Each structure stands twice: as C-alpha cells, then as structure tokens.
Chain A
Amino acid sequence: MKFVNLIRLAVRALQRNKLRALLTMLGIIIGVASVIAMMAIGEGSKQAINESLSSMGSNMITIMPYSNEPGGARLMGSSIQSLTIKDIDALEESAQHIAKISPLVSSSGQSINGAANWPTSIQGVSPDYLDIRKLTVKEGIIFSEQDLRSSAKVCLLGKTVVDNLFPGGQDPIGKIIRFKNIPFQVIGVLNAKGQSNFGQDQDDIIIAPYTTVQKRILSSIYFNQIYASATNEGASDAAVDEITATLRETHRLRTGEENDFQVRTQAELMTMLNSTSSMMTALLTAVASISLIIGGIGIMNIMYVSVTERTREIGLRMSIGARGKDILMQFLIEAIMISVTGGVIGVILGVTSAFVIPVALNWPTVISEFSIIISFIVCAVTGIFFGYYPALKASKLDPIEALRYE
C-alpha cells in the first residue's frame, strides 16, 4: 500500500476512537511536556548563573596569597603577605594574555558623614579594577594615575554607602567623608550592581587608590589580592599559566616548592555551579522520561486491544490481497501517529509552560531546541518500539482464522 494511503488510514482509525486515542496519547503528552519544561527550567537557571557570573567579569582572574605549609598555625589566605607591587610590575611587563590588572587591599571600618555613619569596607585598587569587575561610574570621575602616585585621599562610593551616608538624597560628589578617621573627598558614585551570587551586597563599598589605603590606613606594602582580566574568555587558561610562571619567578620559588599564591578564574566557578544545575536537570529529565516510557506502554496496550478488536478486518484485508507487510505498516503507522501526535501536543504544552513558569513562579526558563528535537525523536522511537510488537502480531495472523474470528 502506498505511504499516503497508510497515513490516511491511520488518521481515519484514530478519528474513529478520538477519546481513546487522546487518552492513549496522554502519557506521551505529559512525558514530553514535562521533559521540555524541566529542561527549560534547568537551562534557564544555568543561564541565570552564567549571566550573573559574567556580570562580575567573565574573564576575571583572581590571585590570592596561599600557604599549604603543614604544621604550625595555618593562616587565612588574606593575612599571608606575599603579593606586592613587584608582582604587578612583573606581570604588566611580561604577560601576553592579561588585559588589565589591579591590586586589591581592603580594610573594614566605620565611615562617617556628619551625623550619619555606616560600617563598610574600603577597597584600595587601581583604576583598572572597575573594568575588571565591570563596575561603572554613575556620576563623577575615577581617580587618576596622579592620585595613585600621590596617595590622594579621594574615593568613589557604592550605592549602599551613598544611601546610608547621605540619607537626605544630597549630592555626595565633592563632599568629605571620613573612613577610620581619615578624611576622603568623594569624587564619584558607582552604578548599583546588586547582590552577588553568594548574597554579598556588591554596592556596599568604598573605592580608593590602593596607595592611599596601603599607606594611610593599613601601613602595609602587601596586597590582599590581585585582580586581572584575560584578553578574552578563551585566554583564561593561558593567562593562569603565565601568571603562575611569572609569580613563581618573582617569589623565587624553586622547582618542587609549592606556590605561595593561588590563581582562580571565573570559568572554574562557572563550571562548578553549572555542574550542580546540570545534575538537577538530568535528574528531573530522568523522572520525566519515565513518564514517556509509561506512555509508550500505554500505546502498546491499546495497539494490542486494537489488533484483537480488528481481527476480522485484518482477515478481510489479507483475503483481498494485503500482505503481512501492509498490515504491519498499517498498525505501526497508527502507533507512530499516536505517539507523534502526542509528542506535538506535548511540545506545545511544554513550550507554553516554559513561557508561563517565569511569570507564575518567577523561575527563569530557556527553551532549548535540543530538548524539543530529542523528545520528538524519543516519541517516534517510542511509537516504533511499542507499536512494533502488536503490529507484528497482526501481520502474522492467519487470514482463514482471522476471517472467522468472533
């Protein structure tokens, strides 16, 4: 029988038992819809994480002092003194894969403006820091190289600090605030950045030249951290190798001696967070796939019933010239039709729910074409797999017995 006629035949057979066909499809519909919705939720949260990470600077590299000396009191990384301006100079000179670099020294303390005060931390950096961390100036200016050299008492304020020190909504630019009793002139205000992935308020900062913080607040020549950015995301690994090599040299570490610093990229963090959300997605998808299998068994069940019910029809078709192959195809295509129609409805439902979920539950979703394609293929395969045995049974019927079947 020609393929077009087979399709027409299958459509006709399903139309005759609309409710039954729909109920049979239900398993497939629910399976496909939930697979697509789950994958959309998984993909959505993955992208949300990636977005917030890259808003912190996706090619950002952090260098921290680190000690793994066994025995004795272990010190916190930030209190180990190993990073100095020499390291920055060496890196600036030699590194090919680093675009920007800035030291970071920080100190917490009370900031005061007249009657208002606020506990916060000051971060001593170079102007490159803003680019690396993707911070932008809302009003005012960034301090200059001249300010760095002269350890100028100037600063930029984050939004939280502005809100707390200037509660009346006055313009902070040009005002003098005090941090740990040292007066700073406010020369700029940063754009709000909100919370970080880890719940930190990224706007609760004061930014000042690192020389100022080192000399006037901490009286130290060491840095807490060094921030750098790779020339692009792909160059992160090369940059890490380069930094490691350079710092080992400036720190005069012998071969075999452990690093007294640690280099981390944003990409590592991203991989870690993504692997968690990938695992969740895989788990949810597995649960949804079980529903697909159950749907397939439903199809198989109904196809067996259908074959038994239509035994006489099969006998008649065979007696007027249908070959086993024709009967096989007829029932197989009917099963595939059920599963694929169920798949189409499931895709529509799944995609719809992927649009509804962000509105209703405020979860981000991203529909991946992959999930649609894969669930479609799974549907067709389910139809073939679970429809084959009933169809085979039909095709093997003896026409004589089938014709006399009551």
Chain B
Amino acid sequence: MTGRKILEIQNVKREFTMGTETVRALKGVSFDVNAGEFVTIMGSSGSGKTTLLNMLGCLDKPTEGVYLLDNVNVKELNRDELAKLRNTKIGFVFQAYNLLPRTSALENVELPLLYNPLIGTEERKERAIAALKAVKLDGRFDHTPNQLSGGQQQRVAIARALVNEPVMILADEATGNLDTRTSYEIMSLMQELNSNGKTIVFVTHEPDIAGFSSRTVMLRDGKVQKDTVNTDRRSAKEALASLPESDDY
C-alpha cells in the first residue's frame, strides 16, 4: 500500500557550532517515506536520532541537503511558515505526552485547531470529539490529564496529533514512559491508524517496538546504517493477547 512520496530526504546534513567546535550531528542522510508507510527510526543515543526528528518535525532546518515534506521545501520557509506547516501537515506525539495540565482532554485535542484560523468553533469541537473517539476515549472528554492513566494520556496526545488530519504522524519515543502492556496497546492503536492509511514515523530505541512497523531505518553516527523493510511484521493486537494476564489484583 505504498503511494506518493510524503518525505524526501536527500543528503541532509546538520551542524551545530558549540563555541569554536563544530558538531556534525547528521552527516548526509537520505531516505524517502511514502504515504501509508509505518517507519521506525532507530539508533542509539548520539546517533543523530533527535536531530533528525527535529528536522522531520520542521522544528529545525538542515544546514545542507534537501528536505521535502509533502513536496514543500522546508529549507526555504521562515519561522511562521514552518509553524503553519507543523500545524497542518504534522501530528506530534511526545514521550512525555506534553498535555496541558488542568485542561480537559477535549480542549487538549482542540489545541492545534485553535491555531488554524480556517476552522470555526463548531468544527473544532466536532473534529476533536471524532479524534477522541478514534483513540477509544469517548466518555472521558472532560477528564484532565491528572485524572487519566499514562496510556490514556498518550491516547489523548495521539488524538491531538490526529485532529488536524496531518500527512504524517511523528512519534518521539511515544512508548518510552509506558509499561509493556500499555506500550502494546498504543502500538496496536498505531497499527490500526496505519491500516486506515495514516503515514507514521516512529522514533524509538526499542527493537521490540520496531518489530510492529513496516520498515526500519537504523541511524549510526549521523548516517543511515541500515534501511530494511520488515518482512515478518508483528501484530500488536496478537502480542497483547499473548501477554500473561495482569496479576495486579
């Protein structure tokens, strides 16, 4: 189910100047992501994973090379245009959820739409409700983050990433703060969204999690070490079923 190219990354380099020293975080990375793919980006710390993620999320621009997101050349955009691009084309999911405290789930999900002037109050609410339903959180619209479990909070965050109908969901260690069972639940949700046609780029360092994706890009020392298509893709639902029963009670 590959389609048009969502991401085109050609020989992207990113250098930081720290005092007199130049740190080369990315030393020429190239790969493409097509619509409908579920790509995991793996790498140990220091591999340039975070830098690449910032780049993909349009929070940062490459020093050299070309990054096209949905055929838009990111390098040519200014701060405000980047913000608009993030608002309309990318859905972020963070490791620490990053929900607004003391704010209801519904309002947290509405947040990206608030920054889109084309969407009115009615539509905003409808779409937020639909997104929360899509992550199976109906009935929890009024709950604030501290009234929700970690898994539920992450699902609110996923709903927030879905609400602006992005071309790509960009997850940064989205299961990093969760236990195995909840991680699998989140991955199962991700797989479901992917099978519904969403393009997902998932950054992680857990090989276990990478097994649920359709393709894995391995980074090492700022370069792509390996780019493999997952032939034996696991189903998160089945993995969840095979987990031993919880003995908490």
Taking a contact as CB atoms under 8 Å apart, the answer to whether A322 and B94 are in contact is no
Taking a contact as CB atoms under 8 Å apart, the answer to whether A313 and B94 are in contact is no
Given contacts A16-B102, A316-B98, contact A321 B84 (CB under 8 A): yes
Give the dominant DSSP class at A's interface.
helix
Check if A317 is an interface residue, CB within 8 A of chain B. yes
Q: Which stretch, B52-60, B194-202, B203-211, touches the partner chain A?
A: B52-60
Taking a contact as CB atoms under 8 Å apart, the answer to whether A320 and B60 are in contact is no
In the complex, which residues 1-40 of chain A have their Cβ closer than 8 Å to any Cβ of chain B? 1-2, 5, 12, 16
Q: How far is the CB of A10 from chain B (nearest CB, A)?
A: 13
Q: Which residue in B60, B88, B98, B114 is a CB contact (below 8 Å) of A5?
A: B114
Check if B86 is an interface residue, CB within 8 A of chain A. yes
Taking a contact as CB atoms under 8 Å apart, the answer to whether B114 and A1 are in contact is yes
Bound: A320/B91 CA distance, A: 7
Check if A95 is an interface residue, CB within 8 A of chain B. no
- Chain A residues near B112 (CB-CB < 8 A): 320-321
- Chain B residues near A312 (CB-CB < 8 A): 98
Taking a contact as CB atoms under 8 Å apart, the answer to whether B87 and A321 are in contact is yes
Q: Which of A1, A16, A321 gathers most chain B CB within 10 Å?
A: A321
Q: Which residue in A1, A5, A319, A326 is a CB contact (below 8 Å) of B59?
A: A319
- Chain B residues near A399 (CB-CB < 8 A): 59
Q: Which of B88, B111, B116 gathers most chain A CB within 10 Å?
A: B111
Bound: A1/B119 CA distance, A: 10
Taking a contact as CB atoms under 8 Å apart, the answer to whether B102 and A318 are in contact is no
Bound: A310/B84 CA distance, A: 22
Q: How far is the CB of A327 from chain B (nearest CB, A)?
A: 10
- Chain A residues near B83 (CB-CB < 8 A): 318, 321-324
Given contacts A2-B117, A325-B80, contact A320 B59 (CB under 8 A): no
Taking a contact as CB atoms under 8 Å apart, the answer to whether A321 and B86 are in contact is yes
Given contacts A320-B87, A320-B92, A400-B54, contact A313 B115 (CB under 8 A): no
Bound: A351/B138 CA distance, A: 51
Q: How far is the CB of A278 from chain B (nearest CB, A)?
A: 51
Q: How far is the CB of A317 from chain B (nearest CB, A)?
A: 7
Check if A403 is an interface residue, CB within 8 A of chain B. yes
Taking a contact as CB atoms under 8 Å apart, the answer to whether B79 and A323 are in contact is yes
- Chain A residues near B79 (CB-CB < 8 A): 323-324
Bound: A313/B7 CA distance, A: 28
Q: How far is the CB of B170 from chain A (nearest CB, A)?
A: 10
Q: Which residue in B57, B84, B94, B111 is a CB contact (below 8 Å) of A323?
A: B84
Bound: A403/B111 CA distance, A: 16
Contact with A along B91-111 (1 / 0, CB 8 A): 010100010101100000001
Bound: A403/B86 CA distance, A: 15
User: Taking CB as reference atom, which chain B residue is nearest A325?
Assistant: B80
Q: How far is the CB of B198 from chain A (nearest CB, A)?
A: 17
In the complex, which residues 156-176 of chain B have their Cβ closer than 8 Å to any Cβ of chain A? 160, 164
- A to B CB contacts below 8 Å, 17 in the list: A1-B115, A2-B114, A12-B103, A313-B100, A315-B98, A319-B86, A320-B111, A320-B115, A320-B160, A321-B87, A322-B87, A322-B115, A323-B79, A323-B80, A324-B83, A400-B54, A403-B59
Which residues from chain A sit less than 8 Å from chain B, CB to CB? Answer: 1-2, 5, 12, 16, 312-313, 315-326, 399-400, 403
